[in-house]
């Protein structure tokens, strides 16, 4: 079949399965209320947890950097793309997370794929939580190491797999998100650390959704639980408000990553303004206890209000609130009906989450006012009859 016809056949199949994706287009910056298709609606689906994505300090830092350094780094870091501001940003982020060294990437996705590919190879074994992010899964694949997937947040299963598969490999890494991106639950990091110590494995923690939000000065879940990770991955695209990723670890580990990670080595360095934004955001994030209290307060209020109404919202202590709908078409219908009521929440379907667990994923941000949360809760109240009748149909089918 000719290429274009074959592509068309695939696209039609995708559309008829109801899993094709077309994003809603925003006509505004990531404010508490965003313009969606020309209407002002409450935005409840960004990862802009602290509300920094349009913060004036960051806008100023970026415009200074533009004037001082231009728009492009013009080469990969190893060739001629390393500017002093990249190094300053790395030192600042190192201090932020409290480890020995750190290396910037263009994104958190590039950080995970690069670091895992650099740190593990054919003779190594990786133990990965079953709900880890796609960038971790892809990094595991790129490494060509053996991969053992343990049940979500299950140290006993991890222990069984370590007993069975640790020996016979040179390196072992246990890989987990600290706050899981689609469920908002947290990893049992102390138990993972103990198992790593017992089985001579390194602990690799992706703090994408915890940095800035949890822990003293927003240092993340490792800092909150006082667990030392061997490798810590962060993104600058969520609470930090802009874009970019980084990996922090010992100085030696970071040097290996700089020498081997292909997404670092063979890719143009992040633009200097990205480094300037990392520097400025680190200061803002550290001094944002008030913002952390606000976003966590909003989340607690929404979670309990929705739970009391009858929505299935698993317990949690992070700003990520899943509302389980289970069926992928129903979740998109609920999302559209909430948008009609001026609340923008995205439906999350496979392959982002396992089949049968489609959900709305709500994330308030620190810059929401209490009235925004009240209006969002009201919208959910008026969407409740549809949700409850759907759940009844689901129960009757069982
Ligand atoms: C978002 C995310 C990433 C990717 O970070 P980007 O900077 O958006 O590329 C990595 N890991 C987890 C757990 C994430 O949620």
Tens-digit pLDDT profile for residues 114-160: 999 999 999 999 999 999 999 999 999 999 999 999 999 999 999 99
Of 183, 177, 197, the C-alpha closest to 111 is 177
Q: Which residues pair with 101 in a beta bridge?
A: 249
pLDDT score at 22: 82
Q: What average pLDDT does range 273-286 have in this prediction?
A: 98
On average, the pLDDT of the chain sits at 96
Q: How far is the CA of 53 from the centre of ligand 1 (A)?
A: 16
Q: How far is the CA of 5 from the centre of ligand 1 (A)?
A: 34
pLDDT score at 27: 87
Ligand 1 lined by 209 (C-beta under 6 Å):
yes
Ligand 1 lined by 139 (C-beta under 6 Å):
no
Ligand 1 lined by 206 (C-beta under 6 Å):
yes
Of 360, 295, 300, the C-alpha closest to 324 is 360
Catalytic amino acids? Answer: 181, 209, 238
* Closest atom, ligand 1, to C-alpha of 236: 7
Is pTM beyond 0.95 here? yes
Ligand 1 lined by 113 (C-beta under 6 Å):
no
* Closest atom, ligand 1, to C-alpha of 177: 13
Q: Which protein residue's CA is at the shortest distance from atom 14 of ligand 1?
A: 208
Of 356, 344, 349, the C-alpha closest to 380 is 344
pLDDT score at 162: 98
Q: What average pLDDT does range 264-288 have in this prediction?
A: 97
Q: Residue 398 pLDDT > 80, yes or no?
A: no
**Per-residue buried b or exposed e for 115-141, using 16+ beta carbons within 10 Å of the residue's own CB:** bbbbbbeeebbbbbbebbbebbbebbe
Q: Residue 397 pLDDT > 90, yes or no?
A: no
* Residue from 208, 209, 211, 241 whose mutation best tests the ligand 1 pocket (most atoms within 8 A of CB): 208
From CA 22, how far away is CA 11, in angstroms rounded? 13
Q: Evaluate whether 133 touches 206 at the Cβ level (below 8 Å).
A: yes
Give the other-Cβ count within 10 Å of 206's Cβ.
33
pLDDT score at 1: 87
Q: Residue 172 pLDDT > 80, yes or no?
A: yes
Ligand 1 lined by 55 (C-beta under 6 Å):
no
Question: 100-116 pLDDT, tens per residue?
Answer: 999 999 999 999 999 99
Residue 306 CA to its chain's centroid (Å): 23
The pLDDT confidence band at residue 395, using thresholds 50, 70 and 90, is confident
Q: What is the 3-state secondary structure (H, E, C) of 103-145?
A: EEECCHHHHHHHHHHHHCCCCCEEEEECCCCHHHHHHHHHHCC
Task: Say which range, 13-27, 292-306, 333-347, 365-379, has the weakest mean pLDDT.
Answer: 13-27
Q: Indicate left, alpha or beta for 233 from its phi (over 0: left) and psi (-120 to 50: alpha).
A: beta
The pLDDT confidence band at residue 329, using thresholds 50, 70 and 90, is confident
Q: Residue 47 pLDDT > 90, yes or no?
A: yes
Question: 210-254 pLDDT, tens per residue?
Answer: 999 999 999 999 999 999 999 999 999 999 999 999 999 999 999
Strand order in the sheet with 33-36: 33-36, 39-43, 343-344
pLDDT score at 317: 94
Q: Residue 391 pLDDT > 90, yes or no?
A: no
From CA 100, how far away is CA 112, in angstroms rounded? 18
Q: Is the Cα torsion angle 23, 29, 31, 35 positive or negative in sign?
A: negative
Of 141, 148, 142, 151, the C-alpha closest to 125 is 148
* Kind of pairing between the strands at 202-206 and 172-177: parallel
Q: Residue 358 pLDDT > 90, yes or no?
A: yes
Q: Residue 379 pLDDT > 80, yes or no?
A: yes
Q: Which protein residue's CA is at the shortest distance from atom 5 of ligand 1?
A: 108
φ, ψ of residue 56 to 5 degrees: the values are -55, -35
Distances 156 to 152, 162, 194, 376 between C-alpha atoms, Å: 11, 10, 12, 39
Q: Residue 6 pLDDT > 90, yes or no?
A: yes
Specify the residue for token string 């602990």. Answer: 203
Ligand 1 lined by 108 (C-beta under 6 Å):
yes
Q: What average pLDDT does range 19-40 have in this prediction?
A: 88
Tokens describing residue 195: 């198992």
SS3 content of the chain, % helix, strand, coil (to 5): 45, 15, 35
């Amino acid at each position: 079949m000719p290429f274009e016809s074959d592509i068309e056949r695939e696209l039609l199949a995708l559309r008829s399965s109801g899993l094709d994706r077309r994003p809603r287009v925003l006509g505004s910056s990531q404010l508490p209320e965003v313009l969606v298709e020309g209407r002002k609606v409450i935005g409840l689906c960004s990862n802009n947890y602290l509300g920094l994505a349009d913060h004036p300090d960051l806008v100023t830092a970026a415009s200074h950097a533009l004037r001082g350094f231009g728009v492009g780094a013009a080469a990969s870091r190893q060739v001629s793309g390393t500017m002093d501001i990249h190094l300053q940003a790395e030192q600042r982020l190192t201090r932020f997370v409290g480890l020995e060294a750190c290396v910037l990437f263009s994104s958190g996705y590039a950080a995970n794929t690069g670091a895992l590919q650099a740190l593990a190879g054919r003779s190594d074994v990786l133990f990965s939580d079953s709900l880890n992010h796609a960038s971790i899964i892809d990094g595991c694949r790129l490494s060509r190491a053996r991969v053992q997937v343990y049940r979500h947040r299950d140290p006993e299963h991890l222990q069984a797999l370590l007993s069975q598969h640790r020996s016979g490999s040179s390196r072992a890494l246990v890989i987990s998100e600290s706050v899981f991106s689609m469920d908002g639950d947290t990893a049992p990091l102390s138990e993972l650390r103990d198992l790593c110590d017992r089985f001579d494995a390194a602990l690799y923690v992706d703090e994408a959704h915890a940095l800035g939000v949890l822990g003293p000065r927003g240092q993340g879940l490792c800092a909150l639980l006082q667990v030392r990770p061997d490798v810590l991955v962060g993104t600058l695209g969520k609470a930090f408000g802009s874009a970019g990723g980084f990996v922090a670890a010992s100085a030696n580990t970071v040097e290996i990553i700089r020498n081997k990670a292909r997404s670092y080595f063979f890719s143009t360095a992040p633009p200097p303004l990205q480094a300037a934004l990392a520097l400025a955001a680190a200061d803002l994030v550290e001094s944002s206890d008030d913002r952390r209290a606000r976003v966590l307060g909003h989340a607690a209020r929404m979670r309990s209000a929705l739970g009391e109404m009858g929505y299935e919202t698993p317990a949690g202590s992070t700003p990520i609130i899943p509302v389980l709908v289970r069926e992928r078409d129903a979740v998109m219908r609920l999302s559209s009906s909430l948008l009609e009521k001026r609340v923008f929440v995205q439906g999350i379907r496979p392959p982002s989450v396992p089949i049968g667990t489609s959900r709305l994923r709500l994330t308030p941000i620190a810059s929401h006012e209490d009235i925004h949360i009240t209006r969002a809760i009201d919208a959910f109240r008026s969407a409740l009859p549809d949700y409850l009748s759907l759940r009844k149909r689901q129960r009757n089918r069982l």
